[in-house]
């Protein structure tokens, strides 16, 4: 198995990946390494197949999600793991206030306004992802981590309130 999730699927480490290629590679790898194909193999081969399949599934889960992919890329490139408590980045009070106000607004508006606001938030997340990519490419990992933390807060706002039928139109 390859050293990192991008290599497993033969993808270049970056924010914007070819999701069709990811899906294609995932299905190909699962057809090769799925544990059901090793039912009659020795126990060691069965265990290896289970291990490989678990890594493939985890890698796919991470890479198909924009924010998880960005966090993983930051982790392997800049050695910053936002999931690790020691690496929690403190956002500026201004950004935290902006997020708090946006969250309150999101929770107070009616369904139609919430959908429009959710679309704007998704656009801001996309803009942050572009900034993250630039910062990682410039090896400005702290700035990338700050923008990723902000994007995660924004995503949490959207996920905090059900949008009903709108969820599928936002790719959330």
Which of 94, 89, 83, 108 shows the shortest CA–CA distance to 160?
108
pTM, two decimal places: 0.85
Per residue in 121-136, pLDDT (tens digit) is 999 999 999 999 999 9
Say if residue 86's pLDDT is above 90.
no
97, 81, 68, 113: CA torsion to nearest 10: 0
Q: What is the mean pLDDT of the chain?
A: 89
Which of 171, 13, 148 shows the shortest CA–CA distance to 71?
148
Say if residue 139's pLDDT is above 80.
yes
Q: Which domains does the chain have, with CATH numbers?
A: 5-64 (1.10.287.110), 89-170 (1.20.1280)
Which of 45, 43, 42 shows the shortest CA–CA distance to 34?
45
Per residue in 158-167, pLDDT (tens digit) is 988 766 544 4
According to the model, what pLDDT value does residue 13 have? 93
């Amino acid at each position: 198995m390859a050293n990192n999730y991008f290599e497993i699927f033969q993808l270049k480490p970056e924010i914007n990946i070819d999701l069709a290629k990811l899906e294609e590679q995932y299905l190909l790898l699962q057809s090769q390494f799925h544990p059901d194909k090793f039912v009659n193999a020795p126990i060691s081969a069965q265990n290896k197949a289970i291990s490989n399949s678990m890594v493939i599934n985890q890698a796919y889960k991470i890479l198909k999600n924009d924010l998880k992919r960005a966090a993983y890329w930051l982790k392997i490139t800049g050695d910053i793991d936002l999931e690790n408590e020691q690496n929690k980045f403190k956002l500026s009070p201004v950004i935290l206030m902006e997020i708090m106000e946006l969250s309150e607004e999101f929770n107070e508006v009616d369904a139609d306004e919430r959908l429009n606001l959710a679309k704007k938030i998704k656009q801001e997340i996309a803009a942050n992802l572009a900034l993250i990519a630039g910062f990682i490419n410039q090896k400005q990992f702290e700035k990338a981590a700050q923008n990723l933390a902000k994007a995660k807060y924004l995503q949490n706002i959207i996920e905090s309130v059900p949008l009903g039928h709108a969820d599928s139109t936002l790719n959330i």
